[in-house]
Amino acid sequence: MAERPAGRARPGKAVGGRLLRGVGVSSGIAIGPAHVVDAGALQAPEYLVPEDGVEAEVQRFAGAADKARRQVRKLKAKAAALPDSAAEEVGFLLDAHFAMLSGSRLIRGVERRVRQDRLNAEAAVQAEITSIAQTFADMEDAYLAARVADVREVGQRLLRNLMQHKYQAFSFLPEGCIVLAEELSPADTALMDPRRIAGFATMLGGAEGHTAIMARSLGLPAVLGTLGLLQGVHNGDTVVVDGIAGQVCVNPSPEVLAEYRRRRAELLAERAQLKSLRKLPSVTRDGTAVTLNANLELPRELDGAIDVGAAGIGLLRTEFLFMNRDDLPDEDEQTEVMTRIVESMDGKPVTARTLDIGGEKIATALRGYFSEPTNPALGLRAIRLSLKEPKLLETQLAAMLRAGAHGNLRILLPMISSVAEVRRVREIMANVVRRLRRRGVKIANPLPKLGIMIEIPGAALSADGLAPFCDFFAIGTNDLIQYTLAIDRGDEQVADLYDPLHPAVLRLVQFTTEAALRARIPVSICGEMAGDPRYTALLLGLGIRELSMAPNNLLLVKRRLRGLDLVEATRRARTIMDQTDQGRIAALLDDFNDAAA
């Protein structure tokens, strides 16, 4: 069985056990005992809010309540696909939760406690829940007493949103277990050690969200957006997560379990066979060299990147330094971590991206730097946050300059939209260089190349104007697709509209590539498209010669490109770029791939 990318579940034959369908976001098959993540009771912090901070605290609570309403709406939309009676029952329950989050006594009471008592929002929520529960209990009414559980559940949802991250204790789980949860954040996923966790599944989440990207990077089989996942499942139940078919099977029959084990063994054998490609050159059939780099979400993936023979690190996401902690990493800590990575690559290039916090990637320690935006994907994030809080950027640049003294390091700026932003970063970097030199600190010499992510349509369309101010481009297709097609890539409700083969997306990639080639600067792709062999021929045909991807996908892409004739791929890419229909584009690409298989 040849490995293929993860995807949405297709109708399948009935199997022993309970079969659930979702969206396969990270390929592979995991089998193990279930660990159900209990949302559990959170310990709410309690403190007095300064008088001039009360309105900001009320707004912070309003943001948490708004997020809770969106979560409940998502859950209700998913519940509609359950069998009739279950859909009705769950729908009534979620309607009640939604009502509690919309101008109810709970909401009004929390706002009053923040304003009158100057309590922080978490403590105000906890106090209001306790008060409502006591009121219901005093009425000695069995129906109202049963509603207390609902009030507490809504309160816990508000607390989780206010506290933004609840640390998950994955390190104490039994080896080989399967994590099942309503939702997991990228920060939660970052805590999963593939040596201990076999895979995971959630009720919420889409294929292109950052949790999915983290799963692929860690090589963990994963299925998101799984209907009814947590109903009737208990810790210790045998669970199969099929990240290829997008299916979760709970307590499969012995026959079905044996079949999954056979398929998993085939996949492992295929991956072992792929390792024979590790030392072979990354060249097409007609001898064109292609650089294959690895993306790193976490330092512990470094060994995997080296094992598959990555030519370098094409994207080092530095967000891991800020996640799952309550303080900010200082310059020395960041320098030490990045130096270790640069030295481990032994002269091969490492492209370190400055902080891209915001959107779905939240760091607790940065919570005070920005309020909850109405639309996180379009708010204060990435380079916008770094330029608004230049101390953050100065610290990162200083660490990168120092780490660059130990090897080949490039600096990458996320979410650039204008020349002015690049100029401002260069000014800040020049000041940091002068400060470090005055202190006699050893830094990179020559200074690191400075490049930008092309991930906003406006940046792609002005790539000609940006190129003279940049040393290289890296096309981030994940956000480029999201912003071009106006699709929340973490929302499973619109996951089917997220299409890398949309003509608008391909034209932006083509426009950016041609602008870089005319300016004679390197251009790479570091989004998820780069790691899917389905797109390799098209990207090479458009002129891309450098790809960066999750280490687990690198040998799959190498196998594909070594079987390609670049002249034929370029001819097919030209034909594709003449098309206006996504279906026709997909058919042309798949036919080309099938003919080469």
Catalogue the active-site residues: 210, 526
448/352 Cα distance (integer angstroms): 10
Q: Is 154 helix (H, G, I), strand (E, B) or coil?
A: helix
Q: What is the largest CA-CA distance in the chain?
A: 81
CA–CA dist 72, 286 (Å, integer): 54
Tokens of 485: 């097609």
Q: Sheet with 23-26: list strands edge to edge.
A: 18-21, 247-250, 238-242, 29-36, 177-181, 197-202, 222-224, 23-26
Q: Measured on CA atoms in the order 585, 539, 210, 309, is the torsion positive or negative? A: positive
Nearest one of 169, 227, 228, 163 to 193, comparing CA atoms: 169
Q: For residue 410, with 0-12 CB atoms within 10 Å meaning exposed, 13-18 middle and 19 or more buried, which class applies?
A: buried
Q: Burial letters for 131-155: b for 16+ Cβ neighbours within 10 Å, e otherwise?
A: ebbeebeeeeeeeeeeebeebeebb
CA angle, residues 285, 288, 289, in degrees to nearest 5: 115
Backbone angles phi and psi of 454, in degrees to 5: -100, 100
Query: Does residue 438 contact residue 380 with C-beta atoms inside 8 Å?
Result: no
Best CA proximity match to 497, nearest among 478, 482, 519, 513: 482
Distance CA 185, CA 489 (A): 14
Q: How far apart are CA 117 and CA 246, in angstroms?
A: 49
Answer for the pair 463, 515: CB distance below 8 angstroms, yes or no.
Answer: yes
CA distances from 551 to 11, 215, 275, 364, 547 (A): 30, 12, 12, 28, 12
DSSP state string for 233-300: --TT-EEEEETTTTEEEES--HHHHHHHHHHHHHHHHHHHHHGGGTTS--B-TT--B-EEEEEESSGG
Residue 352 in 3-state DSSP?
A: strand
